Structure 1
Amino acid sequence: MLRGFRILHARQKRFKFYLNRFTVLQHILFIAVALISQLCPVQVYAQSNKDCLECHSYKTLEGVRNGHKISVFVSSKEFDTSVHNALTCVECHTDLDMKKIPHRNTFTPVQCGDCHRVPLQQFRESLHDKVLQDGGDLAPNCQTCHGSHNIKPIADPESNVRPIKVPGLCGSCHHEGTEVSERYDIPQDQILENYSESMHGEGLLRKGLTVSATCVSCHTPHRILPHTDPRSTISKLNISKTCSQCHSEIERVHQKVIRGQLWEKEPHNIPVCVDCHQPHKVRKSFYTQGISDQDCLKCHAEADIKSSVDGHSLTVDRMKIMSSRHAETACSQCHINVDPRRSRPCETLKDPVDCSICHEAVGTDYQMSIHGKLHAQNDKNAPNCKECHGSHEVKGKADPRSPIFPTNIPDLCGTCHRLGESAAVRYMGTEQNIVSDYSESIHGKGLLKSGLTVTATCTNCHTAHKEMPASDPNSSVNPAHISDTCGSCHLGIEEKFLKSVHSPLVTKTDATLPVCSTCHTAHTISRTDLSNFKLKIMTQCGKCHEAITETYFDTYHGKVSQLGYTKTAKCYDCHGSHDILPPNDPESRLSHKNVVETCKQCHPNANRQFAGYLTHATHHDPKKYPILFWTFWGMTSLLVFTFVIAGLHTLLWLPRSFTWKRDLKKRLEIIERAQEREDEEEDNREKSHHEEN
């Protein structure tokens, strides 16, 4: 098209001399040339980003890659702020250079290595590329980490590879529960969670220390290799060099543990960094302060050793320690401030063990809990770490012998919260028989009778270390958080509930909205298919919807339900249970679109006319149902009037009936005497007749 107009322009200049004389002819030629250029369009080539964005600025534009449709929308705003804003599109999309527009729907992926040769070479050697070349659909490529048209410099706060964002970026794949963690056998687990709680993670994520080590500091950005590969930065031979990039004084710091010359000369004969400092759980290093466990056990292994203060036993069973979670932890790492210079090093100990030295997050939660607050007030009944976890025989929660194993949790909490115990005595709420009620609930039966260890226990609802009263706004069992707490297991139900009229996200009101425990209770939760629950839920709804419930009991459904029949329609059969919506909502079970199907659950032959009856109609409301109101009272009045007239008639007739009764008796007596005389006369006549004969 463009070339045709250039030709036309040239011809116009050539014939300019004749313009005044041949105006008509020029016009004819102009029209002819224009028609020819339209009929024979010429190719136009995309040479600028503006040409590309004429199509690619549309968000709905799609292309095809590997047989799948993908979006090919490009945001000019994001591209203009990227590191590649000075490049043209075809410098990356080289196979589209000098191609006809619109170009074909399939295209070759961008080759970043054309410019970034060193990173590409490193990536080619990595574990990621190996999986990618093997056809792995989860393997990352350049775009996965850096983006495509919105690549920012590392220092840019919006960059995907900015240090503070790197853990989240890597964690999008290497996070517990992702498809990568489930499909591939990765030696480390809980990588992102452990890193977040580590010294490195705390420095980066909580304190904004961007020089703190991230994933790429140890694993490198592009040449990621398994630790078994000798070339890997985290292999046994190279790990100390990797750590030394930041910890340059590593030899001097560890001189009391390992001779400095061994780091360079014999690295294979000494423990590597991660033997002591776990890769993703790096915390402050603990040292035994010059005293070994054997020194402690010289005294504490004795069976008769006791405290000089209160006389309780101080005996420590070495075998229990060796089978505990703290088997690799030295005594002095927990019982700090021992002085090995003294004949009895532990005589300098004044304070009890502070578990929060290692378990910082747990310690913070405990201090915020009601248990921690009472303990800070020196309440003798407040539990501490030792009372729940034990002291020298601490087991993991996955160990059936552990007091915090799921099936043991009710008994553990019950030691204080069982009826009559220390916590139950001071509790003034309505939940009194907590342990026994829980044991008979659907959760308790699932756990204790069926051994279903994933069922909810005390700690699932109240948390393990951050227990708070329900009145505390931060409590997991506060009404504002109940749906989130229950939703940790019942996710699908929570999603429905949050869209219902009972959700504070939907209904804005000062009135108290129901939560899970309002209908299901807290510790006596039962199966919803049991008769007791079905009959009880009617009155439960009535606590808030009193007027509507009264009208329900005026209906056939309500009257039959009151007789104990559970198969007739209840509130939840029509309105739903967790997905209750107003009838004018198209998704409501009672909307015009869905009401017939709702009725068909019980009435298979229901139709539109059937579903049109007034479900909660009542003769007690003259404003809403005037016809029903006046009909009821009219028929009732007629009935009463009829009974009154009939009653009066009966009452007025009684005296006459008594008189008639007396008269009848007299007449009967007269008739009887007359009959007797007649019979006597008849007998006399017969007697006379016989005598004559």
Structure 2
Amino acid sequence: MVHVFTRIIPLLLLLAMAQPAAATQGMAIDPATCLGCHGDKISAELMAKSVHGKNGCTSCHVEIVELAKHMRGEVAVGKVQCVRCHKKESAEHANSIHTQKGVQCANCHTDMHSHTSWNQDKRRVLAICVKCHKDERGFAQSVHGKGVIAGNQDSAACNDCHALHEIQALGDPSSHTNREFHTKVCLRCHADEKLVERNKISKVAVESYMESYHGKNYRLGYPEKVAGCADCHTAHAILPSADPNSSVHPNNLVKTCSSCHKKGSALFTKFYAHGEHNDRENYPILYYTFIAMTGLLVSTFAVFWLHTLLWMIRGFVENREKAAALEEGHIMHHVPEGHSQYRRFRRVHVFMHLLVIISFLGLSLTGLPLKFSDQAWAKVLMDLYGGAPNAAGFHRICAGITFVYFAMAIYMSIHFLFIRKDIKGNPLQRLFGPDSLCPNLRDISDVVGMVRWFFFKGPKPTFERWTYWEKFDFIAVFWGMFAIGGSGLMLW
């Protein structure tokens, strides 16, 4: 008796759930009748608990209208068309690589009669995917896989990267689509501030990647030219850097980097892939270099902007005073030999200045799009060059021009100190003499004199052949070569 009830109760439950739907949808046959024959293959209890529990059998098997004909085998039962109800999912599936490979709904949703919702349980997604994608079973040992298995809904499962139904073919591994995918999908989670904070994940990874040459090119629209997240961390077997099997473990970095940089060495891997210039504890060299260069830049601009502003104000007053004196006849506006012309620079100097202008503009126009890669104009400019590789080529040409005029300046300096016969004194006296571009003690008094003149405390000073600001401009080229040129050579 108990056995009878255990079979009847699920049937009654299924019937009670299905009848309203059957009445609404005009179903010809109630599920209890179907289970009278098919109960040995279909569990009424599991069917009632499934996502299809409220549907009648003929909502899927629409060909069966007359039960008698079905029982006599006169009605052919066709393949269930999921698209009748699941239009959105079917449309996505139709455009996926699964459709191209002949993978249909039932290949993943293996038992429609007991199928329950996968929502909030990524473990079921993982279990289904690895049945076919056997090569990716190592995903279960990755940081993402372990998180999924532990029930962490924030941890990335197959569908978080590839989607559930609209799974796109990635194509050629070197293609734009493929290369973009392997970084874009990572950013979905790792750029989500709430998610990374909730899971205590470092926020530095995305920020530092976007500030690197790799990230800047990705942002400018050229991911196929640089390394993305998966190139270093792999796509599926992502492990902590402390794990000996990790692709980013110190012992494996040469192999990982060499996949792109064929001449990669142990020294090459010392590069800070995710270095943070604000992190003094972990990256002291980067931190203090940033402080020094930023301090130099800010102080230089601050001093000379102030210098220019004070000169502009003082010059305006001086010109007003001269104009008033001229009107009153206190001074005569006469310049002896006023129409004489003097050549200050020889042709070689003009040529060197031309090289400076060309190289500076070229380096700036090809380098600024990388510096400001998050700006729309930067992408327009990079596209104008034909992409990052072309811009890099132009940049190197301009760098070569820079080294040419720098070498010329070195030669002229040596010639000035040791070879020229028209300048008196030994090399040290020439270096700090009145004809030299090297700063000397006279410049200190000139600076003090100019400041006094700015504030109406003294007359405008006279200068030697070169003023202190001209000397500063000349020396700026030299320290720029060591700082910018030196770092550029290392990245060449």
Match of 1:613 among 271, 280, 285: 271
Aligned to 2:184: 536
The offset of 1:356, in angstroms, is 5.7
- Which secondary structure does the structure 1 equivalent of 2:42 belong to? helix
1:364-419 CA distance string (max 9 Å, x none): 442331211x2xxxxxxx2425633632788xxxxxx9642xxxx6xx2222232x
Aligned to 1:353: 33
The offset of 1:674, in angstroms, is 12
1:607-662 CA distance string (max 9 Å, x none): 11112222111112223223322321232122112211111111111122324445
Matched, 1:563 2:206: no
Aligned to 1:633: 291
Match of 1:484 among 127, 130, 150: 127
| AA matched with 2:38 | C
CA 1:461–1:558: 2 relative to 1, 3 Å: farther
TM-score by length of 1: 0.37
Match of 2:42 among 357, 362, 386: 362
Match of 2:117 among 464, 469, 472: 469
Match of 1:500 among 136, 142, 153: 142
- Which secondary structure does the structure 1 equivalent of 2:60 belong to? helix
Aligned to 1:384: 57
Aligned to 1:554: 211
| AA matched with 1:443 | H
| AA matched with 1:413 | C
CA contact 2:147–2:155 (8 Å) conserved in 1: no
CA 1:651–1:507: 2 relative to 1, 3 Å: farther
CA contact 1:499–1:506 (8 Å) conserved in 2: no
CA contact 1:541–1:549 (8 Å) conserved in 2: no
| AA matched with 1:549 | V
| AA matched with 2:89 | I
1:5-39 CA distance string (max 9 Å, x none): xxxxxxxxxxxxxxxxxxxxxxxxxxxxxxxxxxx
The offset of 1:578, in angstroms, is 0.9
The offset of 1:506, in angstroms, is 9.9
Instruction: State the alpha-carbon separation in 2 of the partners of residues 670 and 642 from structure 1.
Output: 40
What is the 5 A alignment of 1:206-285? Answer: none
| AA matched with 2:86 | H
Aligned to 1:105: none
Instruction: State the alpha-carbon separation in 2 of the partners of residues 656 and 604 from structure 1.
Output: 60
Larger Rg: 1
CA contact 2:142–2:236 (8 Å) conserved in 1: yes
CA contact 1:599–1:606 (8 Å) conserved in 2: yes
Aligned to 1:441: 96
Instruction: State the alpha-carbon separation in 2 of the partners of residues 634 and 673 from structure 1.
Output: 48
Match of 2:155 among 513, 537, 542: 513
- Which secondary structure does the structure 2 equivalent of 1:594 belong to? helix
Could you list the structure 1 runs, at least 4 aligned residues long, displaced by more than 4 angstroms after superposition: 505-511, 660-675
1:490-549 CA distance string (max 9 Å, x none): 1221x1111212223898686742211122222332233525524522412514453322
Instruction: State the alpha-carbon separation in 1 of the partners of residues 119 and 156 from structure 2.
Output: 15
Aligned to 2:459: none
1:541-586 CA distance string (max 9 Å, x none): 5144533222222222122211121121111110111111222333
CA 1:647–1:487: 2 relative to 1, 3 Å: same
CA 1:491–1:463: 2 relative to 1, 3 Å: farther
CA 1:605–1:553: 2 relative to 1, 3 Å: same
- Which secondary structure does the structure 1 equivalent of 2:85 belong to? helix
CA 1:437–1:443: 2 relative to 1, 3 Å: same
The offset of 1:464, in angstroms, is 2.5
CA 1:659–1:618: 2 relative to 1, 3 Å: same
Identity of aligned residues (%): 28
Unaligned regions of 5+ residues in structure 1, if any? 1-308, 315-334, 336-349, 375-381, 395-400, 419-432, 447-451, 473-477, 676-693
CA 1:623–1:673: 2 relative to 1, 3 Å: closer
Instruction: State the alpha-carbon separation in 2 of the partners of residues 602 and 562 from structure 1.
Output: 19
| AA matched with 2:92 | D
Instruction: State the alpha-carbon separation in 1 of the partners of residues 152 and 164 from structure 2.
Output: 23
- Which secondary structure does the structure 2 equivalent of 1:519 belong to? helix
1:463-513 CA distance string (max 9 Å, x none): 4222322247xxxxx3122111111221221x1111212223898686742
CA 1:548–1:674: 2 relative to 1, 3 Å: closer
| AA matched with 1:552 | Y
| AA matched with 2:117 | P
CA contact 2:239–2:246 (8 Å) conserved in 1: yes
| AA matched with 1:388 | H
CA 1:636–1:356: 2 relative to 1, 3 Å: farther
Instruction: State the alpha-carbon separation in 1 of the partners of residues 31 and 232 from structure 2.
Output: 63
TM-score by length of 2: 0.50
Instruction: State the alpha-carbon separation in 1 of the partners of residues 306 and 335 from structure 2.
Output: 38
Unaligned regions of 5+ residues in structure 2, if any? 1-22, 71-75, 172-176, 338-492
The offset of 1:587, in angstroms, is 2.4
What is the 5 A alignment of 1:588-603? Answer: 588-603=246-261
Instruction: State the alpha-carbon separation in 1 of the partners of residues 275 and 135 from structure 2.
Output: 34
| AA matched with 1:482 | V
Aligned to 1:645: 303
The offset of 1:443, in angstroms, is 2.3
CA 1:403–1:664: 2 relative to 1, 3 Å: farther
Which one has more relative contact order, counting CA pairs under 8 Å at least 6 apart?
A: 2
| AA matched with 1:384 | C
What is the 5 A alignment of 1:407-418? Answer: 412-418=81-87
Instruction: State the alpha-carbon separation in 2 of the partners of residues 646 and 571 from structure 1.
Output: 43
Matched, 1:527 2:185: no
| AA matched with 1:437 | E
- Which secondary structure does the structure 2 equivalent of 1:361 belong to? coil
- Which secondary structure does the structure 2 equivalent of 1:437 belong to? helix
CA 1:622–1:593: 2 relative to 1, 3 Å: closer
| AA matched with 2:108 | N
The offset of 1:597, in angstroms, is 1.6
CA 1:441–1:651: 2 relative to 1, 3 Å: same
CA 1:468–1:509: 2 relative to 1, 3 Å: closer
CA contact 1:371–1:384 (8 Å) conserved in 2: no
Instruction: State the alpha-carbon separation in 2 of the partners of residues 458 and 662 from structure 1.
Output: 91
Instruction: State the alpha-carbon separation in 1 of the partners of residues 83 and 27 from structure 2.
Output: 25
